[in-house]
Amino acid sequence: MKALTALLLSATVFTAAPAFAADETAGWQDNKPQSLESLKAPVRVVNLWATWCGPCRKEMPAMSAWYKAQKKGSVDMVGIALDTTDNIGKFLKQTPVSYPIWRYTGANSRNFMKAHGNNVGVLPFTVVEAPKCGYKQTITGEVNEKSLTAAVNLAKTKCK
């Protein structure tokens, strides 16, 4: 009976709803709801950032150049800003990027970050994942072209 109870409890944990709602991300300009499930490439890169984060601002030109150099359809990349629309707009006017920028619109950014594997709550924070095979790698801190290439190549080799 104890084993059955433990099994039922663990099943409940694994089938629980995610820690954030799907409608907690939106296009930063149009406020149109966005979802990671809409990204169809075999590997996706999700970068959590904010305009007040120095390392976030520093890494974005390198991430943009890296993304531009990728074969179309091989990698999807999105930056999710934990910031206001006004701040995002001002920043992107000075530092345009080649990948889509979404904005976190929910009320609990800590839970949102945890749902993506960021238990520390630090920015920048990047997730490289291959959803079809369940591979996921998290990177805390600033990334560059070399670290992104290595992470994406590792995801591709893990999912062959």
For 43-83, the pLDDT digits (tens) are 999 999 999 999 999 999 999 999 999 999 999 999 999 99
CATH architecture of 25-157: 3-Layer(aba) Sandwich (3.40)
My answer on whether omega of the bond before 124 falls inside 30° of 0, hence cis, is yes
Question: 76-124: per-residue pLDDT in tens?
Answer: 999 999 999 999 999 999 999 999 999 999 999 999 999 999 999 999 9
Q: Kindly report the pTM of this predicted structure.
A: 0.85
DSSP 8-state class, residue 9 = H
What is the spatial distance between Cα 66 and Cα 126, in angstroms, rounded to a whole number? 14
Domain ranges of the chain: 25-157
How many residues are given for the chain?
160
- Tell me how far apart the alpha carbons of residues 133 and 158 are, in angstroms, rounded to a whole number: 8
